[in-house]
Amino acid sequence: MSTSIATASYEPLTEETAIAYIEKLNQKLGLFPAPSLLLCKEIGDGNLNYVFHLSDSLSGQSLIIKQALPYAKVVGESWPLTLRRAKIEAEALQKAAETVPSLVPNVIHTDDDLAITIMEDLSDYTILRKGLIDGETYPNLGRHIGTYLAKTIFHSSPFGESQQEIKEISVRFTNPELCKITEDLVFTDPFFDHDTNNFEDHLKDTVIELWKNEELKLEAAKLKYTFLTKSEALIHGDLHTGSVFVTAEETKVIDPEFAFFGPAGFDLGLFIANILLNTISKTAIDEQQHSDLYLIIIETIEVFKEEYKKLWQNHHVEAFIQTEGYVDYMLATIFEDAVGFAGCELIRRIIGLAHVADIDNISDCQKRLCAQKNALELGSTFILKRRNILTIDQLIQETKDVLK
């Protein structure tokens, strides 16, 4: 793992020192009107950071302070992490805001020395994973995520930016420490008997069979190589349903601290997989096909393709852009990679270190086992068949065949 780059002035905030920090900053930036009476609560439930909710009980205004820790909060100081990820996250949000300002939170202030990002308060929103588990529906979600992916990927690729700008972006968002986490936890450890893995005893025989599947491991190795070497666009790097805030009408993509210049299909693959994990969970519980969840996937992919093609035609900087078949080739390649990456994500969420509540919170042991096995089977199917899954309909049908 990486070594922290904590400066001499760095110290983790507490609820009390967070208030003091904002009160001092308020004198310069006018974050809250005077007089103010600030209240603070640490609300972070993630693995890597502190998140503080600051509110003024007099004006009702509020904001969020996110502070990176020099280690993984979920593990402790034995797992050191670079604080530079806070700067990458803030700059990735600001970069996304250039093209999709309504789909990311507004960054108000950054402090590199303390690894702090101050941003707009999204407390009125719901974490997408929780909303889906609770059975809520979000009619704009697929359109919003498809738009987010198309615009952020195209405008940070050689098709939408000059070669000089692309080189600058790729250097600015070099993120080796957090990429290493993805390389290990998504693409490597789940396919071997590794001590970071975390799965229930009743899955042991199934997992051992997966580890023995040399064809699967070969294809997983190829996908890992793609992740390591394919530099196509600035990607979020961790786009699961815990990285999206939603209301009935709005969507905000958060937490791009894993952002780097990588394969354009990665974010799409992770998002598809996490929607499918919720689908697998619900199907195991009530044995019904959940068409509303399939529609999210369908609309996300369709809107992504439509928006990408519009950008390709109207905002390109590449001489070959009008060459017949080129855009279709690019979209087909992105889709193939996305299917494979989705397969790796499905498997790692069952075998690997970081699970999802969609599956783990199924109280009935037999139904949970069913969901876990279905996720592993579907993940393996996507990895092995990704070159033959050419359309959205084929992807959905492969899913239904596993879950029937």
Closest alpha carbon to 235 in 151, 303, 296: 151
What sign has the CA pseudo-torsion 252, 96, 353, 71?
negative
The rounded distance, in Å, linking the Cα atoms of 96 and 155 is 9
Annotated binding site for substrate: which residue ranges? 238, 348
Annotated binding site: which residue ranges? 49, 66, 120-122, 238, 255-257, 348
Structure tokens at 387: 């070159």
Structure tokens at 47: 């693995």
Residue carrying structure tokens 């509020």:
62
The rounded distance, in Å, linking the Cα atoms of 218 and 237 is 23
What sign has the CA pseudo-torsion 355, 264, 256, 68?
positive
Residue 365 contacts residue 284 (beta carbons within 8 Å): no
The rounded distance, in Å, linking the Cα atoms of 134 and 315 is 40
Annotated binding site for ATP: which residue ranges? 49, 66, 120-122, 255-257
Burial pattern 20-40, b for ≥16 Cβ within 10 A else e, equals: ebbeebbeeeebbeeebebeb
Q: Collect all residues with Cβ–Cβ distance below 8 Å to 12 and sequence separation of at least 6.
A: 50, 67, 69
The rounded distance, in Å, linking the Cα atoms of 310 and 302 is 12
Residue 278 contacts residue 141 (beta carbons within 8 Å): no
Residue carrying structure tokens 């096909």:
289
Residue 214 contacts residue 205 (beta carbons within 8 Å): no
The rounded distance, in Å, linking the Cα atoms of 341 and 346 is 9
The rounded distance, in Å, linking the Cα atoms of 34 and 55 is 13
